[in-house]
Amino acid sequence: MPNLVPIGRALISVSDKSGVLDLARALAGMGVELISTGGTSGMLRTAGLKVRDVSDVTGFPEMMDGRVKTLHPNIHGALLALRDDDEHLLQMAAHGIEPIDLVIVNLYPFEETVAKGAAFETCIENIDIGGPAMIRSAAKNHRSVAIVTDPADYEALIDQMKAQNGATSMAYRQKLALAAYSRTAAYDVAVSAWLSQQLQQPFPRKKSFSGSLIQGLRYGENPHQRAAFYADGTGRHGVATAHQWQGKELSYNNINDTDAAFELVAEFADDGPVCAIIKHANPCGVGKAATLKEAYLRAYSCDQTSAFGGIVAFNQSLDAETAEEIAKIFTEVVIAPGASDAAKAVFAAKKNLRLLTTQGLPDPTLVALAFKQVAGGLLVQDRDSGKIAPSDLKVVSKRVPTDAERDDMLFAWKVAKHVKSNAIVYVKNGATVGIGAGQMSRVDSTRIAARKAGDMAEALGLPQSPAIGAVVASDAFFPFPDGLLSAAEAGATAVIQPGGSMNDDQVIAAADAAGLAMVFTGQRHFRH
């Protein structure tokens, strides 16, 4: 198997023409014969380069609006022939097939076309056929052929050829082949996902996922785990598309928690200033107020112990006054739709604090797929885009909740959606005052949330627990009255829950006996 393969002939066929002229000039300067197609060959020829048209190689004109131009034995034979196989060489000579040593191909912009909301037929026309075929042929025969699919790799290609006297090494060609197959795989996934959506068949017989590398990570959740961060191509506002203004590189856990925080505040896009503080993917405080600073302080007051070293998210652009308040304690990441120059200046003195800004909030109602790996398989489902309106609430208790209680219940419900099950959230006057997450028993979650409220009352010097007079949200129904009664003992006055238990009548009776107002949503938000 040859190591160094000299580049004598190159085929260039690109949709994205950025950097290709400089590349072609460099190749020509090293004596490489250039073959090209359509608009690419015209551009190179206009620039004064000597170029052979693909039609001269195949003996056929480009036809059917360019659909058929490289799908020919003179192209694929030139790519697939083994240069150290005498029989292959004899067949090439017999049929007048000249070897091609380098292929520069990037594909029709299918993903970009879909992202622009183009019509069905336009998207179909932007499905590349000849390009992926050449990429696969060249990549398969990487022992003899170099394949480059990304303009970002042009400079490295020229450096390689200069270092190897116009040749490429086996190790380099193998690296290119991996990148090439990864590209065609992602392209096919994009086409499949789009067609699946168009045909309203979200779960076809074969399901694939793809991503583009954003960055390698030092490690995963723990130091012994390798990790990387990929973009899924949707462009959804969030940590994957955010701009990092300062601070050290994000870790796996930073990214996971920042995503949880930003998805939570996105629930409150139209609710005025809202802040969420996240620790280990769970909210430790969420607050709404007239200003971002006040919203932050209300979120922080829920659980100051857990907030230390947490992730802070806002639903509005960050101002300097709020930034100054955040800077008083150790914070890992702050994410917001924007930040003023003055706010950025405040954080500039905190070299380890990461500031991320996005161009907007993610749409919490967006219908998309989510997946989770299990042993030997993947669980795929719609992401939880469920949302309720005030009109969806069904009062099931004798006592009707007050308007203030309804407002707090709706706030608590949005927060509970983002708390690990079993989830219990106490809210009072537009701020969480106690959160119980991830317990095996809903009763335990209720008690933990109440205890946290009591702990903060002591820490803040309050005369009584803020759980007294609060409303309670539960992400799923109360199967028995015990969890509800525990909330009542802590001082709760109203409860919002999905309902749907076979023991609903007992739970309603217990609420009435305790003087609680209770509403059903008819919608559950398990989060595992």
Q: β-strand 424-427 against 432-436: which pairing, if any?
A: antiparallel
| Active-site residue identified among 17, 280, 350, 398 | 280
- 168/161 Cα distance (integer angstroms): 6
Is 528 catalytic? The answer is no
As to burial, measured by CB atoms within 10 angstroms (0-12 exposed, 13-18 middle, 19+ buried), residue 121 is exposed
Q: To 5 degrees, how large is the angle CA 285–CA 291–CA 295?
A: 5
The gap from C-alpha 492 to its chain's centroid, in whole angstroms, comes to 38
CB 33 within 8 A of CB 52: yes
Do you find a cis peptide bond into 422, omega within 30 degrees of 0? yes
Query: Helix/strand/coil (H, E, C) string of 417-469?
Result: CCCCCCCEEEECCCEEEEEECCCCCHHHHHHHHHHHHHHHHHHHCCCCCCCCC
Is 280 catalytic? The answer is yes
- E strands within 98-189? 102-106, 146-148, 167-168
- Could you count the other beta carbons within 10 Å of the beta carbon of residue 363? 13
Residues near 93 by beta carbon (within 8 Å), at least 6 away in sequence: none
- 116/527 Cα distance (integer angstroms): 33
CB 108 within 8 A of CB 130: no
| Active-site residue identified among 140, 175, 344, 350 | 140
- 293/336 Cα distance (integer angstroms): 13
Q: β-strand 394-395 against 9-14: which pairing, if any?
A: unpaired
- 132/474 Cα distance (integer angstroms): 51
CB 477 within 8 A of CB 484: no
| Residues acting as catalytic residues | 140, 280
